[in-house]
Amino acid sequence: FGPVRLERNDASAVGLESRKALALLCYVVAQAGPVARPHLVDLFWGDLPEERGRHNLRRVLSNIGASLPGWLYVDRHTVAFAGGADAWVDAIEVTRLRARGDPDTLAAAVDLMGGDYLADLWLDDCPDFETWLVIEREHWRQRAAEMLGRLIATHTETGDYGRARGYAERLVALDSWREEGHRELMRLLALSGERSAALAQFETARRALAEELGVEPSRETVALAEQIRSGELA
């Protein structure tokens, strides 16, 4: 999450030969199982003759193997992430923590998600990889929103509005056009006795929706604002 970093245990940076080598490594690590070598050739060198693409794949795999020994399992037909105790990946750790599902591990998971998935990685000459990356980023945003929603609900139920508000603010920052985050923040501000701030948040939501989507707030959001304005929710 965020800009891609490859580091050894001593925090020294690991360099690969190219952005495409880094993208290929990230793609393989993200897959649930082995990836066919012809698929990688098509994904990253689909604009080249097949033999040239296969040659480039061999060179990149050799570079990754030299820089990160043991990270990939490579045979004649497939490439896979080998994993192991000496390989730590934030996205894999988030998946593990999310599966446990208790508030402490969910909090640790969202804390690891410090930015968009592979935020600074792009390849203009690989449209299929770019399509995959856009889809993956949206999937991770949805997972983040789901975990933040669970944390907001947990802390709201226990009356810890301060912590719940912190997660609601992160939900709004994740995507300012998602009304759920604005509604949660409005509700929590009202429950904390900050009615003016809650109504100001409604106006913030209205502006975000107008600027980004060209729409007005939904009936649900408007109804919540009216409840807060009338003092019904306090």
| Residues 56-79 pLDDT 10s | 999 999 999 999 988 999 999 999
At residue 84, does pLDDT exceed 80?
no
Is residue 206 within 8 A of residue 184, CB to CB? The reply is no
How much is the mean pLDDT over the chain?
Answer: 94
**pLDDT tens across 197-206, in order?**
999 999 999 9
What pLDDT does residue 26 have? 96
Residues 41-52: what's their mean pLDDT? 95
Cα torsion through 116, 5, 97, 74, rounded to 10: 110
Check the CA dihedral 99-100-106-109 and report its sign.
negative
The two beta strands, 35-36 and 72-74, are unpaired
Structure tokens at 17: 């030969």
**Alpha-helical runs (H) found in the chain:** 19-30, 37-45, 50-67, 90-100, 103-112, 127-157, 161-174, 179-191, 195-212, 219-230
User: Which residues, including other chains, have CB under 8 Å from residue 112's CB and lie 6 or more apart?
Assistant: 1, 90, 93, 94, 97
Phi, psi of 7 (to 5 degrees): -135, 145
Share of the chain above pLDDT 90, in %: 88
